[in-house]
Amino acid sequence: MNLATLGALLAYVAAAALLEQLIVRIAKAVMLAATPLSGEHTDSFLYERSIWTPGEKDLIPLWLALAAAGGLAWAAWSFDLGWLSGLAALAWLAAIGWDLWTWERVAASVKFVTWRRGWQQSARRVPVSHLAEVHVHEKAMFGPFGACYLALETDDGKAVKLPRTGVPGGLGKVENVANFVRLQMQQVEDLRHRVANERKRAGKPPIDPSERELRERLKALRQARVPDAEPR
């Protein structure tokens, strides 16, 4: 295989990847508009795993399908075998389907941080009011093609690593999500201080969570005894 042939083959693979990304971006934009990851809340900031994220096993089938689509399309053109074009189209459609099925993303709203992982499509969320720390982690792997992700620490000491993305084009989005979450955390903290100060001015000390729970149980017991106290 000479350089011209190799260049043509790589051009077909690159074209398959670029066209796949164009279609997938449009589909993802429609899906996010129809069903935001944050549910009833607006996705204020979001980042997603890119196809350039190193070390992601879910991306291996995607790149194999794209390579097969580009290679088959090149063979169909080079050897005038029309039936290979059909196989190339199937491989390309399989790449689109797998990319959308394993789509990993993180969204931040004013109340929640929500993320979705891998082919199992499991989604989780954490209230901003339960967060203690937010960190951005960056890991260099192949020169500029490193990986980065958001890490959360909850107020009960649990650490959560969110989906990764590639540093080129992804680090800025991860930092935007982190900064927005920090801003919401600060607003929650300011609200807590404001409520505590208002209680102090009113002569009412802040209610301890255990005391609040005890009051709710006593209230429930009183309500449960009301029917028994009615005359028959």
Instruction: Assess whether pLDDT exceeds 70 at residue 151.
Output: yes
- 220 part of a folded domain: no
Question: 7 lies in a domain?
Answer: yes
The pLDDT of residue 199 is 80
127 pLDDT band, cuts 50/70/90, is very high
In tens, the pLDDT along 156-193 reads 999 999 999 999 889 999 999 999 999 999 999 998 88
Mean pLDDT computed over 146-153: 95
The domain that holds 182 is classified in CATH as 2.30.29.30
Q: Name every residue whose Cβ is closer than 8 Å to that of residue 198 and which is 6 or more positions away in sequence.
A: none
> What distance in Å separates the CA atoms of residue 99 and residue 81, rounded to the nearest whole number?
28
> Does residue 204 sit within a domain?
no
pTM: 0.79
The pLDDT mean for the chain works out to 88
Torsion (CA) 208, 210, 215, 216 in degrees, nearest 10: 120
**What are the b/e assignments for 84-113, b being 16+ CB within 10 Å?**
beebbeebbebbbebbeebbbbbbbbeebb
The three-state secondary structure class of 58 is coil
Q: Residue 224: which pLDDT band, with cuts at 50, 70 and 90?
A: low
Give the residue with greater pLDDT, 73 vs 230: 73
Residue 221 lies in a domain: no
pLDDT exceeds 70 at position 119: no
Domain that holds residue 112: 3-187
pLDDT top residue among 204 and 44? 44
Would 223 be classed as within a structural domain? no
In a domain, 54, yes or no: yes
- With respect to residue 230, please indicate whether it lies within any of the assigned structural domains: no
Q: Are 147 and 55 in contact (CB under 8 A)?
A: yes
Does residue 217 form part of some domain? no
C-beta atoms surrounding 142 within 10 Å: 10
- Residue predicted with more confidence, 199 or 125: 125
Looking at residue 229, its pLDDT comes to 45
How far apart are the C-alpha atoms of 87 and 69, rounded to whole Å? Answer: 7
Q: Structural domain tally of the chain?
A: 1
